[in-house]
Amino acid sequence: MKGIRGRITFTYMILIVVTLLISGVYILQFIERVYMENLKKTLIDEAKIVANWVSPYMVTPDSSLPFLAEVSTTVNSSTGKRITVYDRNGKSLYDTHPGSVEESAVKPEVQEALNRRIGSETRLDSAKGSNSLFVAVPIVDGETVQGAVRVGIPLNPVYKELGNLWVSVGISLLAVAVISSVVGMYFASGIARPIEEITRVTRQIARGAFTERVRYRSQDELGVLGESVNLMADRISDQFEDLTQEKSKLEGIIASMESGVMVVDRSGRIQVVNQATKNLLSHSGRSLLGQWHWEVGRSYGLSSMIDEVLVTGDSQRKEITLMSPADTSVELYATPIKGKNDSIVGAVVVLHDVSKWRRVEQMRTEFVANVSHELRTPITAVKGFAETLLDGALEHPDMRRQFIKIIYEESDRLSRLVNDLLELSRIESGHVVMQFEPCEINELVRTTVDKLVHQAGQNGLVLESHPAGQPVYAEVARDRVSQVLINLIGNAIAYTPEGGRIDVTVEDGVDQVIVRVKDTGIGIPQDDLPRLFERFYRVDKARARRSGGTGLGLAIVKHIVEAHKGKVWVDSYPGRGSTFSFTLPKRQGDE
Ligand code: ADP
């Protein structure tokens, strides 16, 4: 009875039953009344007939008694009713039910008849032993009342008949009730079915099944309701689709961002975090969603900043250094997320790794310091010796020659330094136009080596080239590659003690040529290898300066090789020598 269907059926049935009961009772009462009145009327008519018949005999009642008896018995036998004839005093002259105890008092209905009126009464008939209806009429002769005739009928058969009527009416009403209930249930289901369908569909939609639709179609209010629900579902579905798309777009943007993004809720739990944040905080393999921000932040600065934003609602910007990975400088920008009434519901933190820029800045500062330092040494020497000459050394031919030689050497060094610096900056800035042309590498190596064999010999060294078994062609800027070889072989000559040897080998690879410059020199400690190709980096500063190096040779090598899309590296052991190798792609753009 909880659903609409039950309620409609129940109400309908109650309505039917109550209506049928009230109308049934009313109809039955009406029938009963009409029936009783008809009965009474019949009895009165019968009594009047008897009264007419017996009227002439009432003058001498005693002599007419047999006739009275005959009339009464005839009427009684034909109607089954009790007939009683009374004289003018109310004394019973004849009764169709002899043996019955005659009442002493005059009955009210008889009294009425003796008073020239029609009397009637329903009461227990002592003669019949059941309720009876009595009707009495006067026997008149002209103006005088001669007596009265009373007709009585037992009501039991009447009651029985009426009872039967009640039963049949009751059965009819029950049948009507059953039929109406069936019709009512059908009617209820007609109303309830669409309501139930609409309810089911709205419930499904509320649970997220936006494809569900009401299939009930009609012109009535329920049809309109169903249509509205469908329209609403369309709207929600479209909006949900839009939202999903927006969300995935946003997720895509956040995921692909190079900067770290982290969103925390009011309580400090992480709601959104991208891979860049995880990488930055060294949590690559972990899911950080739902964790507290202070558990994953590798720096007190990060947590305190988020807390401050959540409390004050003001955006914050600062740079912190993470504890792990060490020396990582991160620029943080945290801003609050505001909800209704400007309440703070969370915070967004953007993390930007600025370590690279910090290193670049540091390198720039170091570079300026290095350049100044490198320039100062020869300038000081030139200035010092020139002063000494001016102060009088010019007068001494030996000293003069020696000092001017030093001044020449230092200015030469200065010039090389400036040239190297210029060269490097031109290569770095991309201003050097490299003329790539097909070139046979064995030949290029041999030509360059030949130029330096004499210099090597002067230093007591053997310099040899070892070409590949067959010609090897690569597209290179000939002069630049030659420069690379000159720098590498020049270093090998400078850092290999007398009696050593230098071998320059060409190896033919699948896609590339490998050129190696191997010496038996002093070697380089492992710790210095990673920084060897940096500008001005020298392993042994005093020795390098004595060798006349500028500290820029390997930096230039690296730049030229990389401009050819090749690689350069070194294998070296202190005391055993070094091997510098570089590759050149056989065709440009292959590597
Ligand atoms: P420099 O002009 O001082 O030689 P480079 O850039 O050419 O500068 O080399 C950097 C440093 O690398 C040198 O100062 C030297 O300490 C070291 N080095 C380079 N080549 C060799 C080598 N073949 N053997 C030992 N040390 C070397």
Q: Is pLDDT at 589 greater than 60 in this prediction?
A: no
Rounded to the nearest angstrom, the distance between the alpha carbon of 491 and the centre of ligand 1 is 6
Query: Is residue 224 included in any domain, yes or no?
Result: no
- Give the residue whose CA is nearest to atom 21 of ligand 1: 491
Between the ranges 142-151, 289-298, 432-441, 452-461, where is the mean pLDDT highest? 452-461
Give the whole-angstrom CA distance, residue 245 versus residue 224: 31
Of 354, 382, 409, the last residue of a domain is: 354
Give the whole-angstrom CA distance, residue 418 versus residue 318: 40
Give the model confidence (pLDDT) of 162-211 as tens digits: 889 889 888 988 898 888 888 888 888 888 888 889 999 999 988 988 88
Strands 568-573 and 577-585: antiparallel
Give the whole-angstrom CA distance, residue 61 versus residue 92: 11
User: Relative to the CA of 551, which ligand 1 atom is closest?
Assistant: 8
4 versus 22: which is more confidently predicted? Answer: 22
Judge if the beta carbon of residue 524 lies within 6 A of ligand 1: yes
Nearest to 201 by CA among 240, 163, 227: 227
- Give the residue whose CA is nearest to atom 7 of ligand 1: 553
pLDDT confidence of 547, banded at 50, 70, 90? low
Domain CATH for 571: 3.30.565.10
pLDDT confidence of 7, banded at 50, 70, 90? confident
Tell me how crowded residue 446 is: count the other CB atoms within 10 A of its CB.
15
Judge if the beta carbon of residue 452 lies within 6 A of ligand 1: no
| Cβ-proximal residues to 39 (8 Å cutoff; 6+ apart), any chain | 133, 153, 158
Nearest to 521 by CA among 574, 463, 465, 455: 574
User: Relative to the CA of 519, which ligand 1 atom is closest?
Assistant: 23
In the chain, the percentage of residues whose pLDDT exceeds 70 is: 93
Please measure the distance between the N-terminal and C-terminal CA atoms of the chain and give it in whole angstroms.
Answer: 82
- How high is the pLDDT of residue 591? 38
37 with 136, same domain: the answer is: yes
Looking at every residue in the chain, the average pLDDT score rounds to: 87
Give the model confidence (pLDDT) of 358-408 as tens digits: 888 888 888 888 888 888 888 998 999 999 889 888 888 888 888 899 899
Judge if the beta carbon of residue 214 lies within 6 A of ligand 1: no
What predicted TM-score, i.e. pTM, was given to this entire model?
0.50
* Mean pLDDT confidence for 110-135: 83
One-letter amino acid of 243 = L
Query: Is residue 193 included in any domain, yes or no?
Result: no
- How high is the pLDDT of residue 462? 95
Judge if the beta carbon of residue 9 lies within 6 A of ligand 1: no
Q: Identify whether the C-beta of residue 215 lies closer than 8 Å to the C-beta of residue 197.
A: yes
Give the whole-angstrom CA distance, residue 60 versus residue 68: 11
Range of the domain at 25: 4-163
pLDDT confidence of 546, banded at 50, 70, 90? low
- How high is the pLDDT of residue 420? 86
Give the containing element (helix H, strand E) for 464: strand 462-466
441 with 580, same domain: the answer is: yes
One-letter amino acid of 37 = E
Give the whole-angstrom CA distance, residue 227 versus residue 219: 10
Judge if the beta carbon of residue 502 lies within 6 A of ligand 1: no
Query: Is residue 235 included in any domain, yes or no?
Result: no
One-letter amino acid of 222 = L
- How high is the pLDDT of residue 300? 73
- How high is the pLDDT of residue 332? 93
- How high is the pLDDT of residue 457? 95
Judge if the beta carbon of residue 114 lies within 6 A of ligand 1: no
Tell me how crowded residue 311 is: count the other CB atoms within 10 A of its CB.
10
Per-residue burial over 503-534, b = 16 or more CB atoms within 10 Å of its CB, e = otherwise: bbbbbbeeebbbbbbbbbbbbbeeeeeeebbb
Judge if the beta carbon of residue 539 lies within 6 A of ligand 1: yes
365 with 330, same domain: the answer is: no
- Give the residue whose CA is nearest to atom 23 of ligand 1: 492
- How high is the pLDDT of residue 550? 78
Tokens matching residue 485? 């070889």
- Give the residue whose CA is nearest to atom 16 of ligand 1: 539
* Mean pLDDT confidence for 261-281: 91
Rounded to the nearest angstrom, the distance between the alpha carbon of 386 and the centre of ligand 1 is 31
Assign residue 80 a region (left: φ > 0; alpha: ψ between -120 and 50; beta: otherwise): left
Query: Is residue 177 included in any domain, yes or no?
Result: no
